[in-house]
Amino acid sequence: MTIATHGPFETTDAVQTRTVLHVGCGAPDPAKLPAAFFPAGAWAEMRLDIDPDVQPDIIASITEMPMVPNGAVDAVWSSHNLEHLASHEVPIALAEFFRVLAPGGFVLVTMPDLQQVAALIAEGRLEEAAYLSAMGPIAPLDMLYGYRPALAAGNAFMGHRTGFVAATLQAHLERAGFQGVRVQRDGHFALWGSGVKAV
Ligand SMILES: C[S@@+](CC[C@H](N)C(=O)[O-])C[C@H]1O[C@@H](n2cnc3c(N)ncnc32)[C@H](O)[C@@H]1O
């Protein structure tokens, strides 16, 4: 796709590159793009979030992205974002991801692995730090319901309303129409899922 220099999805004569729609992007930080989007110069990042405070390129919910045309992007990257929806909204968001992808494009998602989170909870370790994130320590309680300091600061967008284990994420991605779906448990409290929109 051609790089958009005047605004989202306007075309120019600039360098050909690929576009990743980074949904639920949070605060700007190019380091948030995982290795799938290296080298940086090969990908143009389009940031989308429901929260205007994180200054996204596009302010929208992932359940409704009409400003992103059909087939406009080469990848959709969603990190710790789908669990912020109500369960019945997950297929709606995945249908939006599928719609905006060009044929041959791919989706990459990550979120808490509730199966691993549940193992700690079963040991009674609900509020013990499980790992250290860039924001601070993360406990099972944060992975279940949302990062408590952000919720305490009044950011309702940070609440979690649903969750996933490997099998349910696999089923969601397949039902949305993605091919070659792969889901992995990373052993560090995260699930990673990917799939391709067939050409
Ligand atoms: C835990 S943060 C993750 C930020 C970033 N993706 C990361 O991994 O560092 C969740 C983000 O999802 C956004 N969000 C929550 N509900 C959303 C929705 N319905 N549509 C788009 N973004 C949403 C929040 O505003 C927040 O920026």
Tokens at residue 175, please?
């039902």
**Residue 60 in contact with residue 67, Cβ under 8 Å?**
yes
Number of residues written out for the chain: 199
Q: How confident is the model at residue 11 (pLDDT cuts 50, 70, 90)?
A: very low
Instruction: Look at residue 9 in the predicted model and tell me its pLDDT.
Output: 54
How far, in Å, from the CA of 13 to the mean position of ligand 1? 32
Q: What is the extent of the structural domain holding 176?
A: 18-112+162-196
At 161, which helix (H) or strand (E)? none
CA of 31 to the centre of ligand 1 (A): 16
User: Would residue 119 count as lying in a domain?
Assistant: no
- Cα separation of 87 and 161, whole Å? 7
Query: Rounded CA gap, 162 and 133, in Å?
Result: 21
Mutation probe of ligand 1 site: the residue of 54, 59, 81 with most atoms within 8 A of C-beta:
81
pLDDT at 158: 97
Specify the CATH number for the domain of residue 107.
3.40.50.150
Q: Is 36 a member of any domain?
A: yes
Residue 15: the pLDDT is 55
* Nearest CA, atom 9, ligand 1: 26
Residue 111 φ/ψ, nearest 5 degrees: -165, 175
| 53, part of any domain | yes
Ligand 1 centroid to residue 82 C-alpha, Å: 8
Minimal-distance CA residue to ligand 1 atom 20 = 61
Residue 32: its pLDDT value, please? 85
Q: Is position 50 within any domain?
A: yes
| Residue 182: inside a domain | yes
Residue 61 has pLDDT above 50, yes or no: yes
- The domain total for the chain is 1
Which of 5-14, 39-48, 158-167, 180-189 has the lowest average pLDDT?
A: 5-14
- 1 burial (CB, 10 Å; 0-12 / 13-18 / 19+) is middle
Q: Are 179 and 85 in contact (CB under 8 A)?
A: no
Is a pLDDT exceeding 80 seen at residue 185?
yes
| CB-ligand 1 contact for 26 (6 Å cutoff) | yes
What are 70-116's pLDDT values in tens digits? 999 999 999 999 999 999 999 999 999 999 999 999 999 999 999 99
| Torsional sign, CA 57, 59, 62, 65 | negative
47 lines ligand 1 (CB under 6 A): no
Whether 62 lines ligand 1, by a CB cut-off of 6 Å, is: yes
- Answer whether 17's CB lies under 8 Å from 44's CB: yes
Q: Is residue 168 part of a domain?
A: yes
Q: Report yes or no on 132 lying in a domain.
A: no
- Give 78 Cα–ligand 1 centroid separation in angstroms: 8
Q: Is residue 74 part of a domain?
A: yes
Residue 156 in this model has a pLDDT that exceeds 80:
yes
Contact 103, 2 (CB under 8 A): no
